[in-house]
Structures are given as structure tokens and as C-alpha cells.
Amino acid sequence: MKLNTEILSKAATEARGLAMDAVQAANSGHLGLPLGDAEIGAVLFGNALRFNPDDPHWINRDRFVLSAGHGSMFLYSWLHLSGFDLPLDEIKRFRQLHSKTPGHPEFGETPGVEATTGPLGQGVGNAVGMAVAAKMCEARFNTSDHRIFDHKIVCLAGDGCLQEGVAAEAAAFAGHQRLDNLILIYDSNNVTLDAMAKVTQSEDTAERFCAYGFDVAIVDGHNMTEFLAAFDKAKNAASGKAQFIVAKTLIGKGIPEVAGTNKAHGEAGVKFVDAARKAIGLPDEKFYVSKDVRAYFAERKETHKKEYSAWQEVFKGWRAANPELANTLDQGLSRSVPTDLLSKIPAFDPATKIATRKAGSEVLQPIAEEMPLLVSGSADLHGSTLNYIKGGDDFTPEHRAGRNIHFGIREHAMCALLNGIAYHGIFRPSGATFLVFADYCRPSIRLAALARLPVVYIFTHDSIGVGEDGPTHEPVETVSGLRLVPNLDVIRPADPEETAGAFAAAMERTDGPTLLALTRQALPNLSEAPAEIRRQGVLRGGYVFRKEDGNLKVILLATGSELQHALAAAKQLGAGVRVVSMPCFQRFDRQPESYRNQVLPPECLKRVSIEAGTTPSWYKYIGLNGRAIGIDRFGLSAPGGEVMKALGIGAERVVEAVQGLG
């Protein structure tokens, strides 16, 4: 579309005004990016991006991710002007309680916001994940007669994002995977927060991205014609490479007292706003949008609607011609999961002794068959994490329908990409590494939980059971630490049947992520409780695995590989001892009080827990008079069984603890 620079310059000025007024009203927020990137916003939202403000979830819309989430007023202004359901009143309530304009963009709070961003670099990872998902969509759903997916993923990132390791990991992956549907715009303004960027960076970022395998263009970010030309070139590039546009900008443009310096980054420019507004030609009226800018965007919206309607026609034809594919797509969009998932997972041999990672591998296969949009990746550890979807092929530039993603040794990016795949809204992402490396993933896990994304983490080699690799590889505090993340379900199954329940629980959850902590070492199938009880028990988070004989005197609680020890101890202790399996604290805590009290009767205060990890998280169940057996130190390097013994994880300690309760 021809670029109307006259009206878009005016729109850029008014967008600057909206940012100034909103940040001034809130007395908080970041002016630098919204002012510095106003022309970029005008071109993207006023000309280049394809979307429909009336249907912000349109599956073939271009996705725009503001990785530099601190510049949120940039996004809010352009979404408002574009005609999304973000009225001016919401712009006026920037950063106020329950507004649609929170401090940083939050997924689900504001129409048009595609990802929760602010922790720098994450948005770049999300965008790469979206680009993966978009490629998968093209391969899985487009047909020779109907091309229903051809959208682009556009990401705006600053120096801060690109300094972060997660963005480097994600970019290396994108370059390697030749994700040519990704356009990464680098707001290169030579400024970060504390200082000029030269204080902390001297790399040639353009060369760096060139080395990753991107096509690179360098443009003046205030020259709309030049920027659009680069954008169009990136959009239509035939190189098969991911696209990187370096846009040279002046941070805080419009407030001369701070522009071009780190003072422009935050709200320091606010005190100069009144004069600045006048100087750029804005009237005294705050939150001003002219009639002709309104009219331009109203017309633009009509164009969007026409494109959308044309696409709907193609989509209708596609649906009619491909009912099975359409059904699969609908399943993905509604995140629906077969209700009888557990019945598709064959029971394990009761006499089997098998690691829960191995059980997980077996459980994953029928689930993957039932859920064709489930994809599974690993950070170079498929051979150990065993989460490869057999017959699912690899996701590669040549084969975009592959369901197994080789993330490389890039755990942080893996999890940011998984979030991106989930944000994209069609595929169900899962990813794997060793549990101890959850620390490398944690910022993205936290965001998945915050943004309520149904991501599944298949993390293996839990606890000191890892053994010979030693304390660097033995997670002791990891499970407890992850239990602190709100809205993250952490499941540590005790045997193969609980593993089946754990996978079903993870798949059926649609409003947040689930982390599965699986063992490297073989565990007995605890078949003294029926398989169905164990599977269903996991879905409730905790359950009575072994009911006491006679009156209840003591409750033993355990998860994972230690449930066997609690059971052995109960046998030694005799009557009155109940064993509760508690694979998922969060699911248990969501149960009705009556159920929780049934499992853990409040009158029974003699309680002992055992878990091969740090103990603090247990006291909410065992109380201050209870005893928590665990490992409040780092592990040891030796065969796993010996480490367990040396650190006192076994039935004897449980028996002693119960006897010590008096």
C-alpha cells in the first residue's frame, strides 16, 4: 500500500502526544521508546501490518511483539489509533489499577497485545517461537488450493533485549532454522537505562545477526519511506533467511532536553512535556487525536476488514474441502483435549521397574497420537529426556511439519520459544531438559505462569538419584523452588502409573504451565494401589495411597521416588499409619477443603514427609510439629543409590522420625 507520509507524520506526532500525556498523568512509565519509534509505529500500524482490530484473534493476523515492553505506551497508542477495543479512557488510565494499559504489556489484558513482555529479551524468544508455530501452521494446514496461513511475525527490540542471552540463543536458533517469516526490528538508539549504550556494548550488532544467518538492513528509523522499503523487502525476501532491520532512532525524539540521552529512557522528560507538545505542534488539549488521523485509521480499518473478509472466503473454502484438518485446527484453537486421554494410555506391567522418564516416553506416544498438535522439543537431550514423538519427524527448514524440535543447548530460549508457540494459539508446546537446568529456564517459566500459557515442561533426572554426575547435576532445591511460582503446577510422579496421570494432568490443563519432574533411575511400579487410583490421584494432586489399619495415628507424605520408602516404613510401623502420595501440591491445594481434609484429617497431627530435596515447602502439610525428611544441602558424586543412602533417604529415617514424634 502506498505510504501516506503526510498523515502518518501527523499520526506519529499525536502518538508522541499520547505517550507524553499518559506518562505525565501516571507520573511513571517510559517515554524514550514511544517517542523514538513513533515513525516506526506509524508505518507498521498505519500501513504495513495485517490484522483486524475487530477480531484480534484472527488466526492469520501478523503478530507484533513489543519485546522492549517498557515502551508499552508505544503499543497502547498504536492499538488505540488502529481501532482495537482500547478506548482513550484506557490510555488516560495508563498504569492504573485494573486498566487495560498495565505498566508492561500483559497477554490477555489488552486486545492486540500478543505477549507479556518487559523482562528484556523474552519477547525476542516469544517471536521466534511464534515464527516456528506459523511455519508449522503453513506446513500442516495450507493446501495447494487454499493458503490460509501466510502471516509474519514482527518483533521490536532494543539494545536491552539484544544484550540479553535469551535473545542471542533465540536468534541463533532462528538463523539456523531459516525462519524467514520473522522480522526483527532493532531500535538502535545508542542508549540503555543507566547510560549511553557504548558504556556496555561495542559489538557490531548488525554483523552479529549477519553471522547468525539473518538478512540485515540498516535504515533511518525516522524516515518512513526508507523504513517501509526495508520492511517490504524483508517481508518479500526470497533468501529464505530470518530478517533483521536495524532502525537508527533518536530516543525521546520530541523532547530536546533529554532526546538522545539515557535521561529520555524513563519519565525524566515529563517536566519538559508542556513545552515539547507545543513545539511539535500539538494543541493544549491533552490526549489529542485529530479528526484526520482518526479518519485515516478508520479508513485503514475498512481496508483491514476487506482483507479479512477475502481471507474468510478462502478459509470457508478450505474448511469445506478439508473437514478433518478443520477439526484439528478447531481442537488447537479451543485447546481441547480428548476427555478419555487416560484410557488411551496402556497400563504398565505391575511387576515392571522403570524410570519415570522412560515411563513418560511410553505415555507420550499415545498422547501424541490423540493430540496431533502437541509438539515436543528438547535442549539437545532427547536421548536422555526421552520425549521424542516417535514417527513425528524433526522440525527443520525442509520439513516444517516435524513435531520434534531440536532447540540445541539453549534452555532459556527453548522456554521462551515454547511460550511463543503457546501465544500463537494453535499448537501445544512441550520441551525438555534436565530438571537441574530449570534455573536456566526460570524467567520464561515464570512468564508462562503469569500469562497462563499451557506449556508442558518434561524435566528429567530429578533429585540426587542422578548419582554419578554429582551435585552440579543433582537438583535438590529445584522442585521446592518451583513450587513457589504462582500458577505453575509441579508434578513429581512416583511410578509409571502416576506418570501416566501426570502427563494427562499436564495436557488437560489449559490455563497455565505444568512441570513434570521425572527420574533417571528406575522405580518400582507401586502396584499395591490400583493403577486407576494412582492415575486419578495425580489429577487431584494428592491422595491416600495406603489407608491405615484401625485408627489413624500417623500420616506419611511423599512424592516421586520416595513414595516407595514411605510405603516400606508404613509396613514396618504397623497399624494406624496412612501413606499419602502428594505428587502435585498445587493441584491438591485447588481441591475442595472437604477432600483435602479427607486426605489429611486435621485432627491427625503426627505427620512425616519424605522427599529427596530441600524441606521447607513441606511444613504447610506437616505443620510445625511434623518432621520433614529431605536434603537441605547439595548432593554427592557417586552412584545414585549410594548417594541416597549417604544422605539418609530411605525407610529407616521415616521409621525413626515417626518413633521420635512420641
Ligand X SMILES: Cc1ncc(C[n+]2csc(CCOP(=O)(O)OP(=O)(O)O)c2C)c(N)n1
Catalytic residues: 411
DSSP β-bridge partners for residue 220: 248
Burial class (CB in 10 A: 0-12, 13-18, 19+), 432: buried
Nearer to ligand X, 184 or 464 (CB): 184
Least distance from ligand X to the Cβ atom of residue 36, Å: 7
Helix-helix angle 356-370:496-508, to 10 degrees: 40
- The single residue among 47, 60, 110, 189 that binds ligand X, judged by CB under 6 A, is 189
For the segment 37-76, give every residue that binds ligand X (CB under 6 A): 68, 70-71
Q: Is 252 in the site for ligand X (CB under 6 A)?
A: no
Q: Residue from 22, 73, 86, 120 that binds ligand X (CB under 6 A)?
A: 120
Total residues at the site for ligand X (CB under 6 A)? 20
User: Can you read off the three cell numbers belonging to residue 416?
Assistant: 521462551
Q: Does 261 bind ligand X (CB under 6 A)?
A: no
User: Which letter does DSSP use for residue 394 in this model?
Assistant: B
d(Cα 500, Cα 370) in Å, to the nearest integer?
14
DSSP states of 111-170: TT--S---STTHHHHHHHHHHHHHHHHHHHH--SS-------EEEEEEHHHHHSHHHHHH
221 forms part of the interface with ligand X (CB under 6 A): no
Shortest distance in whole angstroms from residue 160 CB to ligand X: 3
Helix (H) or strand (E) holding 459: strand 456-460
From the CB of 195, what's the least distance to ligand X, in Å? 10
- The closest alpha carbon to 459, from 472, 487, 486, 440, belongs to 440
Shortest Cβ 101–ligand X spacing (Å): 17
Residues 83, 105, 160, 431: which binds ligand X (CB under 6 A)? 160
Cα distance between residue 55 and residue 316, in whole Å: 16
> Interface with ligand X by CB under 6 A: which range of 115-123, 502-510, 517-525, 534-542?
115-123
Q: Which residues pair with 577 in a beta bridge?
A: 554
Q: Measured from the CB atom, is 33 or 570 closer to ligand X?
A: 33
Task: Tell me the window of 57-65, 113-121, 502-510, 530-538 that interacts with ligand X (CB under 6 A).
Answer: 113-121
- Tell me the CA end-to-end span of the chain in Å, nearest whole number: 81
Interaction of residue 191 with ligand X, rule CB under 6 A: yes
Q: Which of 73, 251, 255, 405 binds ligand X (CB under 6 A)?
A: 251
Q: CB of residue 443 vs ligand X: minimum separation in angstroms?
A: 7
What radius of gyration do the chain's Cα atoms show?
A: 27
Q: What angle separates helix 165-176 from helix 411-424, to the nearest 10 degrees? A: 70
Q: What are the residues whose beta carbons fall under 8 Å from the beta carbon of 144, sequence distance 6 or more?
A: none
Judged by DSSP in three states, 413 sits in helix
Min. distance of Cβ 120 from ligand X in angstroms?
4
Q: Which residue in 83, 102, 105, 158 binds ligand X (CB under 6 A)?
A: 158
118 binds ligand X (CB under 6 A): yes
By C-beta, is 39 or 474 nearer to ligand X? 39
Site string for ligand X, 531-560 (x = CB under 6 A): ------------------------------
Looking at residues 465 to 524 of the shown chain, list those that interact with ligand X (rule: CB under 6 A).
Answer: none
Check residue 32 for interaction with ligand X (CB under 6 A).
Answer: yes
Q: How far is the CB of 159 from ligand X (least distance, A)?
A: 3
| Least separation in angstroms between CB 265 and ligand X | 4
For ligand X, the closer of residues 264 and 276 by Cβ is 264
Residue 193 as a binder of ligand X (CB under 6 A): the answer is: yes
Considering the complex, state which of residue 156 and residue 504 has its C-beta at the smaller distance from ligand X: 156
Compute the half-sphere exposure of residue 601: CA atoms within 13 Å on the CB side of its CA: 14
Complex with ligand X: residue 118 or 431, whichever CB lies closer: 118
> How far apart are alpha carbons 497 and 153 in whole angstroms?
41
User: Least distance in Å: CB of 186 to ligand X?
Assistant: 10
Helical residues (DSSP H) of 346-408, grouped into ranges: 356-370, 382-385
| Helix ranges restricted to H, 555-650 | 563-573, 585-589, 593-599, 619-622, 640-646
Which member of 77, 192, 361, 463 binds ligand X (CB under 6 A)? 192
Question: Binding residue for ligand X (CB under 6 A) from 17, 53, 103, 119?
Answer: 119
122 phi, psi to nearest 5 deg = -60, -40
Place of cell 494446514: 141
Shortest Å, Cβ 187 to ligand X: 6
- Nearer to ligand X by Cβ, of 189 and 525: the residue is 189
Grid look-up 489484558 returns 109
Does 125 participate in binding ligand X (rule CB under 6 A)?
no
d(CA 325, CA 330): 9
Q: Which one of 2-10, 186-194, 202-210, 404-412 is the stretch in contact with ligand X (CB under 6 A)?
A: 186-194
Query: CA angle 649-654-656, nearest 5°?
Result: 115
Considering only 62, 90, 114, 159, the residue that binds ligand X (CB under 6 A) is: 159
Helix (H/G/I), strand (E/B), else coil: 91: helix
∠ CA 149-152-157, nearest 5°, is 155
Window of 152-160, 204-212, 226-234, 356-364 that interacts with ligand X by CB under 6 A? 152-160
473, 638 Cβ separation under 8 angstroms:
no
Using the rule CB under 6 A, is 265 a contact of ligand X?
Answer: yes
Q: Are 276 and 254 in contact (CB under 8 A)?
A: yes
- The contact mask relative to ligand X for 404-443 (x = CB under 6 A, - = no) is ----------------------------------------
- CB of residue 123 to ligand X, shortest distance in Å: 11
Contact 657, 629 (CB under 8 A): yes
Interface residue with ligand X among 11, 33, 128, 422 (CB under 6 A) is 33
Nine-digit cell at 462?
Answer: 530429578
Residue 166, amino acid: V
Site string for ligand X, 76-95 (x = CB under 6 A): --------------------
Is residue 167 a contact residue for ligand X (CB under 6 A)?
Answer: no
In the complex, the residues that contact ligand X under the rule CB under 6 A are 32-33, 68, 70-71, 118-120, 158-161, 164, 187, 189, 191-193, 251, 265
